[in-house]
Every structure is written in structure tokens, then in C-alpha cells.
């Protein structure tokens, strides 16, 4: 009996030591560092010479600050990026996070390849840190498929020296004041284009006129997806726009590129452009010490006092693909990209305005007069209505053709809008 007790005790002691040994071995395995998840961030900014080094620094800083993920950049020129994203998605190549143009979102949404960021970043977090306007631009059918990386509007700029010389005492705030200013400028110097509206390429015309139609209370396509371009408000707007051409205030066959070139030569008083306009003016030959007297931003004139100034949103967005290896880690990287510290670094290097409320309210951004003015323009900005659809380019071309028909006198505003209504209804998808 005594031998049995000794044997049992010995077995118990051995089992305890064995358990301790196993536990120790297991703890050792658990304490080993986990392998980093390799995530691919795709886009075009890292391919641009002006931004290449900054993008590399942003990625390196993130990779050195976390044991969770390792970010790799894959990029192409802007014009090839959407096509390459589609190819990588369809061929199951690595693709986790991407920089996308706002105009591409409907196409990617239709393919059903994007994650609803409400589930990753959190709806409350996004609403707390980002403006409603910036979130709305990435929301399709209630799903937050994109968040902004940098966002502004296609607003308007003017040459303060030309206005002063022409006797325009203040920046026009209403449509009536705007037309009166154009008249004075035309009388001052017939070689100056008072308003260099884009009248040639579909990419600009449809978006710029969209903002003017909003100004007059109209729309191309309503929020429910119904075509409503043939309306009294739009007829009034297009009749007014045609009047600007008839009076010689706008010119035919102008692209945005043309307007920028002529503006830098003091041959244009007003034109539509994005926040990058100041930098473009400088690159087109306006010296640093002449910028303030050559180019300033302004809100689009309103129909009547008290109306909200209109502008079409412009910007770069960030998305996560359903094929992402780790969606939570991809979300963590997006939060890093749009964080105050990172976005201000990008702002200082590229001039691209931040989207985080804390970054927008920082002294760095507030003290930059140009960016502050443009953020004010963006407050009431809206997404161009054709961008809700995957065939955005086709719809914009239809609208452009009918606007051009009106400006050239081939159709009355009413007939052009009737034809635009029919053609949009036939092609919308």
C-alpha cells in the first residue's frame, strides 16, 4: 500500500512538472512576434515626380512605427490607374488599399469589389472626424465605399489687377453683379476674355455647368436617379449662359488648360479651376511676388443674396478592396494617412488640403490664406451628378454636346434640354 502511495505521488509530481514544461513551451510560442501582414497600396500620386519622395516617406514612417503591417506601393500614371485597378481585381492580384479619383467610384461600386468602411473605420469615428460633404462624396446607396484623402472643389478664380483696372470695385457675389463685371472688363480691354469658361472638353464643361444649373435651382439628375435636366430652371440658366457667349464674355473652343495658360498671361479675368490653380499659375510663369495680385479664389456668384454658393467637389479618395488580406489593418493604414500629422506633412509638400477636422483647424492650414479660402468654397460643394453612374464620361459627353449646340446657335436652350433629357434617359445606367 505504501509503495502504491509513493508511486501515485511520483506520477502526480511528474505530471505537474510535465504540465509546467508544456505551459512554458506554449508561452514561448505565443510570445514570438507575429509576422507582419504585407498590404498593397495602389494609386498614382507616388508616381508623380513632385510627390514621389513624400509618399515614400509616409509609407516608411508607417512601416517603422508598427509591427502589424508592411505597406508596399504599386502605382501608375493617373490615366492608367482605374484600368489597372480593375485588371488587378479581376486577376486576383494583391490589392488592399487604393487611391481613387472621385469620378471612378461608381464604376468600382458597380463591380462590388469595395468594402463598406462603416464596418471598418466605424460610422461614429468618421462622422466625428470628417465633414458631411466629404463623406457624402464617398457614399453610394448608404454604403461608405470611400473616404476622402484630399478634397476641395472646382471653384472660381479671378485676376484682382484686371478687375481693379476695369473699374470693378468688389468681387461679384450675385449673377447680376458677375455679368456687370464681365461687361466692364469687355469694355476695358477687348483682348481680355472676361470669363474663360471651358467650352471644348466634356470633362470640364458638364461639371462647370452643373454648378451653374444648381445656382439657378436646377439639376441634371435628381437624388433618386431620375433625369430632370429639361426644367424651367435649367432653361433660364442655359439662356443666361448663351447670353454670355453672345455678348463676347466667354469664348468657344477653350479647354481648362487653355484658360490656365491665358490667365497666367493676364488675358483672362475669371475662370473655373481646382485648388491647384495657384501652383499652376506659378508654373505657367507668374512670379512668386506677383501671385497675390494675379490670382485669388472666389465663391461662385449666387442667383440672389442668401443663396448658397455652388461648386462641384473634386478630390482623391481612399478605398479598401474586399480582397484585402486584413481589412482591419488596411483601415488602420487609412486612419494613419488622413491623420492630422500625416495629412499636414502631405499638405506642406503638395498643397493638397487635409480632410480631418483637426487638421483643417490646425494653425498650419488656417494660416494659409489660399487653402482657407478654398475650404470655404468647398463647404457647400456637391458631387457632380453624372459621377453617380459608371458611364459618367458618356453622360457628361451628352450634356456637353447639347450645351455646345446651344452656344453655337444650332439649338435653342429649350430644344437642347429636351434632347439632353431623352439621350440621358436612354443611356443612364
pLDDT tens-digit profile of 49-107? Answer: 888 999 999 999 999 998 889 999 999 998 899 999 999 999 999 999 999 999 899 99
Structural domains for the chain: 37-152+314-378 (3.40.190.10), 153-312+384-427 (3.40.190.10)
**Which of 229, 211, 233, 356 shows the shortest CA–CA distance to 298?**
211
The pLDDT assigned to 93 comes to 95
Q: Quick one: pLDDT band at residue 5, thresholds 50, 70, 90?
A: very low
The pLDDT-based confidence of 34 (bands split at 50, 70, 90) is low
pTM of the model: 0.82
For the record, the C-alpha cell of 10 comes out as 511520483
Mean pLDDT of 337-354: 93
Instruction: Determine the Cα–Cα distance for residues 69 and 98; give it in Å rounded to an integer.
Output: 16
**Mean pLDDT score across all residues of the chain:** 91
- Tell the residue number behind the cell numbers 457667349, with chain if given: 245
Distance separating alpha carbons of residues 126 and 194, to the nearest angstrom: 42
17 or 34: whose pLDDT is higher? 34
**Residue 191: pLDDT band with limits 50, 70, 90:** very high
Amino acid at each position: 500500500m505504501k509503495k502504491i502511495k509513493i508511486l501515485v505521488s511520483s506520477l502526480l509530481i511528474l505530471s505537474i512538472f510535465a504540465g509546467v514544461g508544456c505551459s512554458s513551451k506554449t508561452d514561448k510560442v505565443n510570445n514570438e512576434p507575429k509576422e507582419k501582414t504585407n498590404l498593397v497600396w495602389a494609386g498614382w500620386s507616388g508616381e508623380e515626380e513632385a510627390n514621389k519622395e513624400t509618399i515614400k516617406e509616409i509609407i516608411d514612417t508607417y512601416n517603422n512605427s508598427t509591427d502589424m503591417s508592411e505597406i508596399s506601393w504599386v502605382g501608375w500614371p493617373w490615366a492608367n490607374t482605374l484600368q489597372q485597378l480593375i485588371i488587378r481585381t479581376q486577376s486576383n492580384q494583391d490589392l488592399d488599399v487604393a487611391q481613387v479619383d472621385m469620378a471612378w467610384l461608381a464604376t468600382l461600386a458597380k463591380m462590388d469589389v469595395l468594402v463598406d468602411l462603416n464596418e471598418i473605420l466605424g460610422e461614429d469615428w468618421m462622422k466625428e472626424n470628417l465633414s458631411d460633404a466629404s463623406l457624402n462624396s464617398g457614399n453610394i446607396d448608404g454604403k461608405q465605399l470611400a473616404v476622402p484623402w484630399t478634397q476641395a472643389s472646382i471653384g472660381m478664380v479671378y485676376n484682382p489687377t484686371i478687375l481693379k483696372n476695369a473699374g470693378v470695385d468688389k468681387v461679384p457675389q450675385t449673377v447680376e453683379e458677375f455679368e456687370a463685371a464681365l461687361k466692364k472688363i469687355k469694355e476695358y480691354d477687348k483682348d481680355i476674355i472676361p470669363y474663360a469658361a471651358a467650352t471644348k472638353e466634356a470633362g470640364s464643361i458638364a461639371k462647370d455647368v452643373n454648378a451653374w444649373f444648381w445656382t439657378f435651382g436646377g439639376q441634371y439628375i435628381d437624388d433618386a436617379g431620375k433625369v430632370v435636366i429639361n426644367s424651367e430652371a435649367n432653361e433660364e440658366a442655359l439662356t443666361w449662359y448663351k447670353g454670355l457667349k453672345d455678348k463676347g464674355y466667354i469664348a468657344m473652343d477653350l479647354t481648362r488648360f487653355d484658360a490656365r495658360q491665358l490667365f497666367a498671361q493676364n488675358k483672362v479675368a475669371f475662370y473655373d479651376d481646382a485648388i491647384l490653380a495657384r501652383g499652376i499659375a506659378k508654373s505657367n510663369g507668374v512670379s512668386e511676388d506677383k501671385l497675390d495680385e494675379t490670382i485669388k479664389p472666389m465663391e461662385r456668384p449666387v442667383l440672389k443674396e442668401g443663396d448658397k454658393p455652388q461648386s462641384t467637389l473634386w478630390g482623391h479618395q481612399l478605398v479598401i478592396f474586399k480582397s484585402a488580406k486584413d481589412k482591419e489593418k488596411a483601415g488602420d493604414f487609412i486612419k494613419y494617412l488622413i491623420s492630422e500629422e500625416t495629412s499636414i506633412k502631405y499638405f506642406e509638400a503638395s498643397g493638397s488640403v487635409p480632410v480631418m477636422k483637426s487638421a483643417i483647424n490646425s494653425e498650419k492650414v488656417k494660416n494659409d490664406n489660399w487653402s482657407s479660402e478654398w475650404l470655404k468654397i468647398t463647404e457647400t460643394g456637391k458631387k457632380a451628378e453624372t459621377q453617380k453612374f459608371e458611364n459618367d464620361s458618356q453622360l457628361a459627353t451628352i450634356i456637353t454636346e447639347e450645351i455646345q449646340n446651344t452656344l453655337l446657335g444650332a439649338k435653342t436652350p429649350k430644344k437642347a434640354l429636351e434632347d439632353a433629357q431623352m439621350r440621358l434617359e436612354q443611356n443612364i445606367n
